[in-house]
Structure 1
Amino acid sequence: MINPLILTGLLAGLVGIVVAVFIYWWIDRQPLGDENMVRVWSAIREGATAYMRRQMRTIILFSLTISIIVALSVYAGYSVRVLPAYPELRGEVILESVLIGASVMLGSLASLAAAFLSMDASTRANVRTTEAAKRGTWHALKVAILGGSVLGFSVPSISVFSLALLFIVYSFIVGEAATPFNLRVILDSLAGFAFGASLSALFAQIGGGIYTKAADVGADLVGKVEAGIPEDDPRNPAVIADQVGDNVGDCAGRGADIFESVTAEMLGTMIVGWTVYFFLVEAGYPTIDALAFIFLPFLTGAVRVVATIPGVVVSAYQRSFRDPFEPLRNGVMASAVTAILGFFLAFYLLMPKVWVYFFTASLAGILAAIVIVLVTNYYTGREAKPVVEIAEASRVSPALTILQGLTTGMNATFIPIVVIAVTLLAAFVLGMSAPLPVVANSYTIGNIPIAKFIYGIYGTAAATLGMLSLAGIIMTLDGAGPITDNASGIAEMSELSSEVRGRLDPLDSIGNVTKALTKGYAMGSAALASLLLFQAFIQDYVARNPAVLQVNAADVSLSFSNLMAVMDYLLNHLMIMRADILISILIGAMLPFLFSSLALRAVTKAAWYMVEEVRRQFRERPGILKGIEKPDYYRAVDISTQFALRNMITPTLSIILTPLIIGLLFGGPAVGALVIGATASGIVLAITMMWGGAAWDNAKKYIEAGHLGGKGSPAHAAAVIGDTVGDPLKDTAGPSLHIVIKLLNTISLVFIPIYMLWLLQGVFP
């Protein structure tokens, strides 16, 4: 019998997908506008669609290859470590290897679907937002928000629907799911889904980031600084590529990023919940109550979808407001209240004896999400103090602009890291305090029984679920950002009236704010999801150890006493004084810097070619700047496309291969150390780059609003240089690091059988 919680997740996911399709249909029925608008829109949509199709072909081929490698690697690891002792398990080993490999491919396809839907809805809604602006600001805002809500509904809905459907299918394939061994096989197979989602997300983000920033840097440096023409001026050959980049980078890339986070937190919670379930069943807890700890994410996933509805309705249909950000803020609050009520019911009904502890932990996650968004606004808001300081520095020299921006980015790391640390500590203490039965008291971590420690980890899982409960409405705001940005650009390039452009300008400004806020949210959710996946890796590494198996003629089971012994051994082997652990931490801390350098090098090279192409067109065709000759937009689009597709493979391979090499040499404990090192440095580096870059961007906009001399002043020229430096940091390398740390964790989960080979085991005492 299928657990009702899984069916709830399946149904909620299906409903969310249907709502997204309905909104998609509604957007398609809105008027496109006049001939000039349609001409500009067609160029943007064709460029975005062509790029996404080429990118999807590349990702599908790469993912197919990786899925085959994963299946063969899992089988090879088990063949060396499991089959010699238990040859009768060959059938089970083959089945698990095939399911994990298939899941990698399915996860990649699901992530691509979320990314493509996000991009397609954005490119359909942008020109319709421009047309709606002819009727008023509210009409334009409504179209933009509903366009973004396709992203807001599809991302969490596809995730919970896919995981629920796969769990049901795998339950029928593997057999009766209510046994620890079968549950472990199903969850290990679903880890492949999370890995595939991470893989596609990294490609989508880094490829889209390279594309958009190559175009953006080229358009700004030559157009604004050298030629002195305004932003989104149709005379700029890179302007269409810049508009395309907003869709394939900000929209498709972020959609895949949050899809990965939602999928990872559901899977990580289920794996940690499996250990809690095993402990509780051993202590005599009713099986149906213990299973709730595994299947809770399906119910909270349903709450996430439902909570998106009031947020979108409030945001899109509030007609009266002082500024366009007011309905968006109210929409987030409506979703937050709905999520809190939904989580209260979920924990109260599923865990009646301990609901207070885990519900409170989830509240800590929701509160952390809100605080991080507010802190993001403090550092990157249009007239925030750090932003004004960068603008003031631009009056003196571009060098001071760069220094002040770096100072802001580094300083911005303090509060978010403290918030994440306090949230984790509070959630851990709450989980550990829950009055759940304690078994195997002789196994401890310091003075804490391992069982209590695991309950504490489940508390951090509840906090992660809480933070991501707002994913739907946050993604709606994020999707609206590129739509309003494109709408403003289309109005400029179509030479619409100043009245229409005046209505779109505040929406464009709000779009930039929402993009910065959603990146802050994505960073916080990535941090909690990564740390949850790390704990899931530790527990799954223990559960897949051959010493835990008990095989007889009737069935395969797991030994609880052996599981405890292996867990105790593994935790002792994560001691920092061991040389292999220290080496792995250092390599992990270096990895985000290596990855970022590869990504930024790709942007630099692509931007160099873009700058030369724009200069060439201005030089060889002087009629372009006079407005009597049309630029060759498609040459710039082609440059961005080629460089994005060509340069997204190498950084990705650096992330995939490093944990495999470390795991083969030093074993699972070293991989855990590698992941911790990369997570710690990656989060801090991402905050520095994203918030520093966003502050540079808004310092430029602050000056363009008429302060410190306005457009064309020396301060503006210096701010444009700062913005040009910050753009690839905040839109390419920074957001990609969210995915890097999650990808490292999912790789660690999937390749556990390979780490069991541990070629240098015994070399380091």
Structure 2
Amino acid sequence: MNYLYVAVIVGIAALLVAFLLRASILKIQVKNKRMNEISGYIEEGAMAFLKTEYKYLAGFIVIVAIVIAIFIHPQTALCFVVGAVFSILAGFFGMTVAVKANVRTTQGAQKDIKEALKVAFSGGSVMGLCVVGLGIAGLAILGLIFDLNIEYITGFGLGASSIALFARVGGGIYTKAADVGADLVGKVEAGIPEDDPRNPAVIADNVGDNVGDVAGMGADLFESFVGAIISAITLGAVVKLGTDKAASIFPMAIASIGIISSILGILVVKVLKTNDPQKSLNTGTYTAGALMIIGAAVLSKVLFDTFAPFGAVVSGVIVGLLIGKITEIYTSANYKFVKEIAKESQTGAGTNIISGLSVGMKSTILPIVLICIGILISYYIVGGEANVTTGLYGIALSAVGMLATTGITVAVDAYGPIADNAGGIAEMSNLPESVRDITDKLDSVGNTTAAIGKGFAIGSAALTALALFASFTEAASLKAIDLMNPLTLVGFLIGAMVPFLYGSLTMKAVGKAATEMVQEVRRQFKERPHIMDGKEKPDYKKCVDISTASAIHYMILPGILAIVIPLVMGMFFGAQALAGVIAGCVGSGVLLAIMMANAGGAWDNAKKYIEEGNYGGKGSETHKAGVVGDTVGDPFKDTSGPSMNILIKLMTIVSLVFAPVIAQYGGIIINIFK
């Protein structure tokens, strides 16, 4: 049985289900002219940004493909282009449905919360199924064409990682520039509600939810999904487990089972009749995980006549679910940490910031411990004590297990920004307060599910990067990584510094873009005083243009650095120094990513907890402090934090793809001294 053909069929099936869900969403008629008008503004702004972004990315894809074709292989360059294009398509397809689903979610909220959840989740499911459908189909088709030649197929992962970084950073800068500008001037200075139509930045803010949290997140999880599979295929090609190519086929087969399980989990969410959206989403996620585990057990026995590889997969699933639960505990208002941040906001913004940072730092402990346990279990259960490469293959399988149900994980994640947009449309359309109450409840759950999705991506990044790192050492002919070697130590320190440099650049980018937005909103309020009494319409387009220009301008440097740094270190100082860079980057990057994502999510939900009437409610001094904390947390959780996991894997896969060149020509400076 050729599992690659099965993977192609499963990928096409996922895309077909996504198409059917899209059709069901578009059937819903919205007759409210104001709702359609606002939704049209959001869709227009989102599409304008993507068209501009894709023009820049097209040039990048062509240049990098030419470099790969010259220095590596034309076949690798072809795979790179396919990976990049599929990554773009995953984000594009998801976002084009999201901007249609938002207004229909508002329509559903006028009936009840179950109807609103159904529409928003269907929109998110389109994103999730496009991510996994394109990912598995692309890999399987290239696997059939090139007979699973990993030297070529790694190009697919490089293309996916490259686009994901630009999409995450660009979308993150866009959405947070608008969000911060809207909050600081609208909420804090003008004292008007969130999503008030008088706020000139409000449309840009809603556009940002789509380009950052839908299109950017889709490209991000696409990269995570295919990166985990590629890392396992890479090691599977050299381990001796089962029959010929069984170890290479197994990750693809597990991913296929995960897609089928995700589709069934999505159906479970849609048929559940409950007013508790968190319960519905959790039930669907756990159902998908359970089904995937059963399928993995059967497949492991069939391909290997042992359950050892299945054990590695299960360790990843369990670690992923536990990280998700821990993330929920640290970022949901149902638990003490968010409530503590809200409580300490009573004494001002300073204590709010201190409390949020403390929560973020503390939240790294258990996920790291779990990742370490997962690494050890998956390494030894497959037989790492007898064969290091086999053990590393087990770690790669753990990452595949963690991401096998990405279809529903992304669906749960992407539903959040759709619900957020729905709330904005309700506010700007002057719908009854009961409608906004429903969308706010969905949005609050969405913040937690988004944080959980980021936790999965970050946890899998550590496991995937470790597996890719192992492949790099083999490709670069490194027998061992010696920390007593000054080159390795220097590389390690530089690598540990890179996530901080990257975080600084992306945070500063949001700050600069937000400053431009704040100045524009203040200008409009000052020069057009009748905006506040509703007699004059704000210039929404100007704010959309500011976010677009800022995002495109500031995304370029961080993205280029992630590619250039490993190449420069490898060519100038050699493979040993580059190995140190990767190790340092993974270590500090994973910790920084968890801290920033969780702190940002906690700050956001602390603000919402206050807005529910706690500690003074909306408009109070406590609320103002909560808004400041949320403003700081915005780039933490939606720009810098979630893109750290892409940074880690992009640097690792760049090193892997160019390993033969670095092994042959690297160490220019060291050779001069010698």
| Alignment match, 1:699 | 606
1:348 positional shift: 1.2
Equivalent of residue 749 in structure 1, options 656, 662, 669: 656
Equivalent of residue 238 in structure 1, options 194, 198, 201: 201
| Alignment match, 1:109 | 85
| Alignment match, 1:19 | 17
> 1:700 & 1:342 partners in 2: Cα distance?
42
Contact preservation (8 Å) 1:271, 1:539: no
| Alignment match, 2:470 | 535
Contact preservation (8 Å) 2:101, 2:119: yes
Contact preservation (8 Å) 2:225, 2:404: no
Contact preservation (8 Å) 2:444, 2:605: no
Once the two structures are superposed, the pairs formed by residues 50-89 of structure 1 within 5 Å of their partners are: 50-74=48-72
Q: Aligned to 1:30, what secondary structure does the other structure show?
A: coil
User: Is the aligned partner of 1:587 residue 2:463?
Assistant: no
User: Is the aligned partner of 1:571 residue 2:479?
Assistant: yes
User: Is the aligned partner of 1:630 residue 2:549?
Assistant: no
> 1:147 & 1:398 partners in 2: Cα distance?
36
> 1:700 & 1:320 partners in 2: Cα distance?
26
Amino acid at match of 2:420: D
Q: Aligned to 1:712, what secondary structure does the other structure show?
A: coil
Equivalent of residue 326 in structure 1, options 266, 279, 293: 279
1:215 positional shift: 0.2
CA deviations over 1:342-379 (Å, ceiling 9, x no partner) = 11121111111xx2211111111100011001100111
| Alignment match, 1:313 | 267
| Alignment match, 2:347 | 396
1:135 positional shift: 2.3
Equivalent of residue 635 in structure 2, options 728, 733, 755: 728
Instruction: Decide which moves more: 738-747 or 127-136.
Output: 127-136
Contact preservation (8 Å) 1:579, 1:764: no
> 1:103 & 1:496 partners in 2: Cα distance?
49
> 1:625 & 1:506 partners in 2: Cα distance?
28
Contact preservation (8 Å) 1:118, 1:255: yes
CA deviations over 1:99-147 (Å, ceiling 9, x no partner) = 1112211111010000111111111111111112222211111111111
| Alignment match, 1:421 | 372
> 2:256 & 2:583 partners in 1: Cα distance?
31
Contact preservation (8 Å) 1:578, 1:764: no
CA deviations over 1:376-412 (Å, ceiling 9, x no partner) = 0111111321111111221112111111111111111
> 1:128 & 1:412 partners in 2: Cα distance?
36
1:760 positional shift: 4.6
| Alignment match, 1:197 | 160
1:73 positional shift: 2.5
What is the TM-score normalised by the length of structure 2? 0.97
Once the two structures are superposed, the pairs formed by residues 5-154 of structure 1 within 5 Å of their partners are: 5-74=3-72, 97-154=73-130
Amino acid at match of 2:482: M
| Alignment match, 1:215 | 178
1:501 positional shift: 2.5
Q: Aligned to 1:395, what secondary structure does the other structure show?
A: helix
Contact preservation (8 Å) 1:304, 1:470: yes
Amino acid at match of 2:479: L
User: Is the aligned partner of 1:371 residue 2:306?
Assistant: no
1:762 positional shift: 6.2
Equivalent of residue 425 in structure 2, options 490, 494, 519: 490
Contact preservation (8 Å) 1:580, 1:764: no
Shift of the 236–344 alpha-carbon distance from structure 1 to 2, 3 Å rule, reads same
Over aligned residues, Cα RMSD in angstroms?
1.5
| Alignment match, 1:170 | 146
State the aligned residue count: 672
Contact preservation (8 Å) 1:591, 1:678: yes
Contact preservation (8 Å) 1:365, 1:466: yes
Once the two structures are superposed, the pairs formed by residues 315-714 of structure 1 within 5 Å of their partners are: 315-321=269-275, 323-352=276-305, 355-432=306-383, 452-542=387-477, 570-572=478-480, 574-714=481-621
1:737 positional shift: 0.5
Q: Which runs of 4+ in 1 moved over 3 A?
A: 760-765
Contact preservation (8 Å) 2:132, 2:407: yes
> 1:33 & 1:327 partners in 2: Cα distance?
29
Contact preservation (8 Å) 1:44, 1:123: yes
Contact preservation (8 Å) 1:598, 1:651: yes
1:636 positional shift: 0.3
| Alignment match, 1:276 | 239
| Alignment match, 1:87 | none
Amino acid at match of 2:378: A
Shift of the 742–500 alpha-carbon distance from structure 1 to 2, 3 Å rule, reads same
> 2:44 & 2:350 partners in 1: Cα distance?
39
Contact preservation (8 Å) 1:692, 1:730: yes
Instruction: Decide which moves more: 751-760 or 217-226.
Output: 751-760
> 1:309 & 1:103 partners in 2: Cα distance?
27
Contact preservation (8 Å) 1:159, 1:262: yes
